[in-house]
Chain A
């Protein structure tokens, strides 16, 4: 693309009052680029001014005005490269003249005085100019083969609902169910919680049979019972799926990565690459490699994971005080099975169970935690099952002893309805023991609402076993990915299939696989139906984005994708291993095989690559590196006491908005820091920091989101990987005789802009205390 440049500077919103616009315009003019200013650039006249230039061929525009986070729809031209230089939030607004006074006429030109804010604005314009020079417009990636079919894993209430939703939207669906029939747990109930808007109406008959018949009647839905997925290979838009009977062994069973302990020899030394590969092949003998596509595999565009849950078994020493061995101490699941058959009776002798105690928490006075995987659903189920006792026996009594009873939202009305039953008794309390007493049981509880240590005579005791997501037992998705068949690091979510519960529901760590229902968190039938719709829409969005070469999430619509310069690849596999989404599969030599539709365009591979052979059309080692190099670093040749220069690489998802908000709130911070937004801290290549220090900048920091178990990273692992790389950079710095303290990383939440000024200023002070970079002026 041949570029015709144009620089446009807005003087409104306080920019013109703060800066010497003439001096600022000199910067591009010295480079021979045309500059235009307007006092209201985003207004009709201002946009018209730019439109005219675009019509006459200008296609690489630098807009010096507000943040790129605002007016993005105004400053947008098809086929043009646009760089927004943030003169408003990050120059004028965050550096008030009351604190950073402009120079008087006498001060201008001497070697003692300089205008820090003007220097900041001029650097940002330079950085914007070099960027439009270095980047290109992306050409979208289009897969060779493509299908719109959706695969639904699991034929329960969620899976069936997802299939119906997809079918309604015009997509063909296949449901894979490992049992002999569809329906799932919902088909095993006596009654269910209401699904109407008002849950106070009480229990209703299960709705599942209705849904089953709808699924069976739907010509777009293909149901495969008694079937599981052996492997899912390929990428969104063209997944190749191999199915099999449960328990069967076939060549296209997915290979598993070599466990850590098998990577070592007898002496505990790590095997070399070839030996490891050999061990891997042996470990997966009889299974085809992940890159071997099943010629008989079925093609799917995206997957809805609705494999659901299983009832937890309550066993082990933690629960002996509950007499779990007694036949009349059962789980809520076993109770439901009894209730579905007929009247509530005792398993031990078949007698009527008229006094039933529902235990919600294992108790033991000092501990108020619930059973594992318990939640709102188990609370609601206990209320529902208490009602069964009352339905069966007019003189029946049902007790619910809980530490927490969770009835979110309108379910509170269901709770109220149940509570109204004169034979249902609720109390908070710690169940300290269940014991045999003659023909029945005695439940003892402390710290109850009744104020006493109480005991209750029971015919039957029901324990609230939790809902264990299927992903605890099995990867289920069996992905033929180099990183392994399951979701990575799922343990931080207690193995629920989820990547970011609050911000990005349905998203898993594998693009094109969308989780719904109880595999994501425990859900009622009503919630599962709604959840299925969400995941189905995500699957459709994925298919329709992959088809256009666009990223799905969270950089929706991004048409760039990582480009590899394979001639220089050293097969170090770092990109394969570090990609948070398992987008890269390496071959037996270790050369990465990109799967662009799996990619979320975070750039973690670019940050990881020691050879710097990975880049995007508009985001590359060179584009950012050139911006770093465009920063002016004044030395003693320029001023008696030159100002320090510090580089800040800022995550554009959370940290950059926080910076903008600081400007919006007129919070001021050092004018000696130059910020460059990056897609994710995971994409930061250490070469940029080395370059900055080598050209005389005095320090550098990364500003990104929180990592750890409660990470806020849009790309799961970006800020965590960056922190690992930052630790390693210390060695490199000391070899240059530079202090490690010159480089650091800060964690900031999007809502913590008030913390930014102190964070930045403290670091600047620390660096100033270290003294100027000795490489300055070279």
Chain B
């Protein structure tokens, strides 16, 4: 009795996966065309056939903690060749959406993030928050400046840079800077703790995730290395696997093995490098601001003809995000055979809006010197969008970059 797997279909799970865009999952008749067609499935116990059966049987336990669903890049070759139109690619995508919410806490927040009816809430809360931040900056700047001076008095001289409330140009007649609208301090007071919280949520999720996918791999005989504990991620061998995987991801090697959805590889790569570029710029800016006390806005050019490399990188990265997400949106609009769920649209829209508002905020700041209200409004929208991306990362589709990277590193490490 004990060696038998107790099959307990979960009707709720099936319904949820159907709702997440996996409405074709019941069509599978197990011909295994998908597992043969998949260019990136391993030879041993290939996916997605077994995942399709588990999905149609509602075997949540075989899917949610299954690394294979993350090895899939939804290139669509399986869905294209499926004789029954069961769309394994879409089903796995829906299962991944489900898995993300399973590993993220608190679950109630996950429900809100993935519910289209709650979208307004996701916008109003950060909107009001940044409104409050703008009110503090613009109406009580002088008060804040006094508080900073008082704080500076308490810090022993010479130990650190003096803290100043005002970053960059301020006062009447100064050129427009976004810090005049919402202080950089308040922006960072918002995002730094937020990022830490997100990191904790993800770490907790990943711990459970790694335990689950290893247990699943052992049961299904997919891993060559069967002894694995979560703490192994800190060993040099795992690190090596991780680095290999990161290189693979940067090169989009897996993506490029696909044929059906190959047009998605380039935009996705633009987005990835766009975000990396923005991360570098942000890092340098933090260093300049808090390390060298050099607040922005920084000039586009040095001596009027040498481009500022920091600005150039930021502009190129920003454009990459706009073009990349724009192309992905176009792809999805053009494709009539695929399914696109609210989760997909939500993430694409957030990313696109981040790119567009970011670039527009910069352009209106420089190009419309007499009308600060316009650029401030765009900047406010930009902050709301960035908040959506960061705060809800563990619950939204954006979490894929964490789970997929870890799952790929795990697979590399255990010899999947």
Q: Contact check, A455 vs B57: say whether CB atoms are below 8 A apart.
A: no
Q: Which residues of B contact A422 (CB under 8 A)?
A: 11, 14-15, 18, 26, 58
- Mark B13-30 against chain A: 1 for CB-CB distance below 8 A, else 0: 011001000000011011
Query: Of B1-9, B36-44, B166-174, which binds chain A?
Result: B1-9
Q: Which residues of A contact B9 (CB under 8 A)?
A: 397, 423, 425
Q: Contact check, A425 vs B4: say whether CB atoms are below 8 A apart.
A: no
**In the complex, which residue of chain A has the Cβ closest to the Cβ of B221?**
A451
Shortest CB distance B127–A (Å)? 39
**In the complex, which residue of chain A has the Cβ closest to the Cβ of B14?**
A422
Q: Contact check, B29 vs A419: say whether CB atoms are below 8 A apart.
A: yes
Among candidates B6, B14, B15, B27, residue contacting A454 with C-beta atoms closer than 8 Å: B6
A453 to B6, CA, bound (A): 9
A141 to B32, CA, bound (A): 64
Shortest CB distance A401–B (Å)? 10
Query: Of B48-56, B157-165, B260-268, B336-344, which binds chain A?
Result: B48-56
Q: Contact check, A420 vs B30: say whether CB atoms are below 8 A apart.
A: no
- A422-B14, A425-B56, A425-B57 known; A449-B7 Cβ under 8 A: no
Q: Which residues of A contact B11 (CB under 8 A)?
A: 395, 397, 422-423
- Mark A413-450 against chain B: 1 for CB-CB distance below 8 A, else 0: 00010011111010100000000000000101000011
- A422-B58, A450-B54, A450-B57 known; A457-B8 Cβ under 8 A: yes
A397 to B11, CA, bound (A): 8
A442 to B56, CA, bound (A): 21
Q: Does A770 contact B (CB under 8 A)?
A: no
Q: Contact check, B57 vs A452: say whether CB atoms are below 8 A apart.
A: no
Q: Does A74 contact B (CB under 8 A)?
A: no
Q: Contact check, A455 vs B26: say whether CB atoms are below 8 A apart.
A: no
Q: Contact check, A452 vs B27: say whether CB atoms are below 8 A apart.
A: no
* Of listed A421, A453, A455, residue having the most chain B CB within 10 A: A455
**In the complex, which residue of chain B has the Cβ closest to the Cβ of A446?**
B4
Shortest CB distance A209–B (Å)? 33
- Mark A440-481 against chain B: 1 for CB-CB distance below 8 A, else 0: 001010000111111111000000000000000000000000
**In the complex, which residue of chain A has the Cβ closest to the Cβ of B15?**
A422
Q: Which residues of B contact A423 (CB under 8 A)?
A: 9, 11
Within A360-417, the residues touching B (CB, 8 Å) are 395, 397, 416
**In the complex, which residue of chain B has the Cβ closest to the Cβ of A442?**
B1
Interface size on B, residues (CB 8 A): 25
Shortest CB distance A335–B (Å)? 20
Q: Contact check, A457 vs B6: say whether CB atoms are below 8 A apart.
A: yes
Q: Contact check, B30 vs A450: say whether CB atoms are below 8 A apart.
A: no
A234 to B384, CA, bound (A): 97
Q: Which residues of A contact B54 (CB under 8 A)?
A: 450
Q: Contact check, B27 vs A416: say whether CB atoms are below 8 A apart.
A: yes
- A450-B54, A450-B57 known; A419-B5 Cβ under 8 A: no
Q: Contact check, A420 vs B27: say whether CB atoms are below 8 A apart.
A: yes
Q: Contact check, A454 vs B7: say whether CB atoms are below 8 A apart.
A: yes
Q: Which residues of B contact A451 (CB under 8 A)?
A: 50, 220
A456 to B6, CA, bound (A): 6
Q: Which residues of B contact A416 (CB under 8 A)?
A: 27, 84
Shortest CB distance A672–B (Å)? 57
Q: Contact check, B3 vs A456: say whether CB atoms are below 8 A apart.
A: no
Shortest CB distance B72–A (Å)? 19
Shortest CB distance B7–A (Å)? 5
Shortest CB distance A418–B (Å)? 10
Q: Which residues of A contact B18 (CB under 8 A)?
A: 422
Q: Which residues of B contact A444 (CB under 8 A)?
A: 4
A456 to B58, CA, bound (A): 13
Q: Contact check, B56 vs A454: say whether CB atoms are below 8 A apart.
A: no
A452 to B5, CA, bound (A): 7
Q: Contact check, A450 vs B53: say whether CB atoms are below 8 A apart.
A: yes
**In the complex, which residue of chain A has the Cβ closest to the Cβ of B84?**
A416
A452 to B62, CA, bound (A): 12
Other A-B pairs beyond A455-B1, A456-B7, 14, CB < 8 Å: A395-B11, A416-B27, A416-B84, A419-B29, A420-B27, A422-B15, A425-B58, A444-B4, A450-B54, A450-B57, A450-B59, A455-B4, A455-B7, A456-B6
Please name 16 pairs of A and B residues whose Cβ atoms are closer than 8 Å in the assembled complex, sorted by A. A397-B9, A416-B27, A419-B26, A421-B26, A422-B11, A422-B14, A422-B26, A422-B58, A450-B53, A450-B57, A453-B5, A454-B6, A454-B7, A455-B5, A455-B6, A456-B6
Q: Could you tell me which B residues sit within 8 Å of A by CB distance?
A: 1, 3-9, 11, 14-15, 18, 26-27, 29-30, 50, 53-54, 56-59, 84, 220
The 8 closest A-B pairs by CB, nearest first: A452-B5, A455-B4, A422-B14, A453-B4, A454-B7, A420-B26, A454-B5, A425-B57
